[in-house]
Amino acid sequence: MNVILNLGIIILIGIVASKLFKALKFPRVLTYILVGALLGESTSGFIHPDLKSIENIITIVSLAFIAFLIGDMFRLRDIKKIGTKAIWIALAESTFTATIVATGTILLAKTSLVNIPHPIPTALLLGACAAATAPAATFMVVREYKAKGTLTSYLLMAVSFDDAVGIILFDIAIVIAQVLLRNEQVSPLHIIFTPIKDIVLSMLVGFIMGLILSKTLKFFKAKEQGMMLAFTFILITAGISQQLNLSPLLSSMMLGATFVNFGGNVENIFSSIETWTAPLLLFFFVLSGSDLNIKVLPQVGVIGTLYVLLRTAGKIFGGSFGAFAIKAPKEVQKYLGLALLSQAGVAIGFAVFIGNLFPELSFITTIVLSAVIIFEVIGPLGAKFAIFRSGEVPIQEEK
């Protein structure tokens, strides 16, 4: 089958599946991921290899568009109301999750249930992987149900900063693992401040590009011209970030956030971009699902089960604790953690990196990838449950 025909059939399957699973009240993103898992190499192998070869490009572009659309949620009036509280929540729940997973792994290693080689490096790396949350699936659930409100604002801000915290924790874990396993000496200050620098620069790129877009758009009055200009700026912003080894996700989110606060005719632009990107995002999530190897699930074992249970507990209770500590509204304290369970891209990247850097710890890759399958199923469902229970979904979207 040629590539174009294969692509068309994949999108058609995604559309039909979304229609069928709508009766079961499945979020569309979960449906697309499940379709991808069934069409992936580990199952039917239906997806053409040439499509898989451009997966990295599709991923970066899709995440850039998703992040830009989420920028619509970062209006200054909402940020002023919430302030830096969501950042503290992200720090609290990520650190709590990493700590509980690492501690549980060390305690498990002391029992006779399972033999865990190099328990301390293993525990630290698993904890760091557990801290990461997948923003794309959460963003899509929020967009699908048009959720708006206090919980949604906290959720979007928290999940946006969550991976930033996860990256820092992961780099710290890598440094300690290198010292314990390789006797390598790396400056901890360098490892900690390098991600922070990248985060700041990523957001600066998005801010500058957002200001330029806001000013330039005044010379393009037609709706189609405005949409194409915004489309172009999203690609350029993501491309600059990738060229500089920064985060396309953070820079594109800042692009959208800057534009929504300083631009004109923003509602039409965001509406046009959202409509145009619908088939792109369908294909992106199907491709993401195709990376999930269902056959490795039986290999998870005791340690994998513990990882799933402890990460779930860490996100739920960590989110609640963080919200309670900053005196967030009750609905945020009650439901935020349930919306932070999704895990995909960043965690997969961590897992693959660990397998390449520490071959003796390659079993961590299997554990994390197996857990991703589970969290990509329950994550969108948890996010949907949270926004519905908090009453932040419009009535027409509930039907």
Which domains, ranges and CATH numbers included, belong to the chain?
Answer: 55-398 (1.20.1530.20)
Mean pLDDT of the chain: 81
Task: Determine the average pLDDT of the residues in 366-376.
Answer: 78
CA 105 to chain centre: 24
* Higher-scoring residue by pLDDT: 394, 14: 14
Q: What pLDDT does residue 185 have?
A: 63
Q: Percent of the chain beyond pLDDT 70?
A: 89
Task: Determine the average pLDDT of the residues in 362-370.
Answer: 77
The yes-or-no verdict on residue 288 having pLDDT over 60 is yes
Q: Using CA atoms, how far apart are residues 199 and 193, in angstroms rounded to an integer?
A: 10
74: which 2 tokens?
Answer: 């970062």
Q: Using CA atoms, how far apart are residues 282 and 15, in angstroms rounded to an integer?
A: 8
Considering only CA atoms, which of 126, 203, 139, 130 is closest in space to residue 165?
Answer: 130
| Cα angle 150, 154, 158; round to 5 | 170
Q: Using CA atoms, how far apart are residues 123 and 318, in angstroms rounded to an integer?
A: 18
The yes-or-no verdict on residue 206 having pLDDT over 90 is yes
Q: What pLDDT does residue 294 have?
A: 64
* Higher-scoring residue by pLDDT: 80, 208: 208
Q: What pLDDT does residue 132 have?
A: 81
* Higher-scoring residue by pLDDT: 172, 206: 206
Q: What is the pTM of this model?
A: 0.69
**Amino acid (one-letter) located at 209:** M
Q: Using CA atoms, how far apart are residues 357 and 353, in angstroms rounded to an integer?
A: 6
Site of tokens 């998870």: 300
Q: What pLDDT does residue 210 have?
A: 93
For every residue of 306-353, DSSP letters joined together read: HHHHHHHHHHHHHHHHHHHHTT--HHHHHHGGGGG----HHHHHHHHH
The yes-or-no verdict on residue 57 having pLDDT over 90 is no
User: pLDDT tens digits for 209-243?
Assistant: 999 999 998 888 777 888 889 999 999 999 999 89
* Higher-scoring residue by pLDDT: 17, 190: 17
Please give the C-alpha separations between residue 306 and each of 6, 100, 124, 334, 338, in angstroms, as whole numbers.
Answer: 39, 11, 14, 24, 18
**CB of 365 closer than 8 Å to CB of 352:** yes
The yes-or-no verdict on residue 270 having pLDDT over 80 is yes
Q: What pLDDT does residue 293 have?
A: 64
Q: Using CA atoms, how far apart are residues 274 and 344, in angstroms rounded to an integer?
A: 22
Alpha helices in 83-222 (DSSP H): 85-109, 119-131, 135-144, 150-182, 188-216
The yes-or-no verdict on residue 356 having pLDDT over 80 is no
Task: Determine the average pLDDT of the residues in 35-59.
Answer: 81
Task: Determine the average pLDDT of the residues in 328-354.
Answer: 80
Which helix H or strand E contains 132, and what residues bound it? none
Task: Determine the average pLDDT of the residues in 258-273.
Answer: 84
Q: What pLDDT does residue 139 have?
A: 78
Task: Determine the average pLDDT of the residues in 117-141.
Answer: 84
Rounded to a whole number of angstroms, the distance between the first and last alpha carbons of the chain is 39
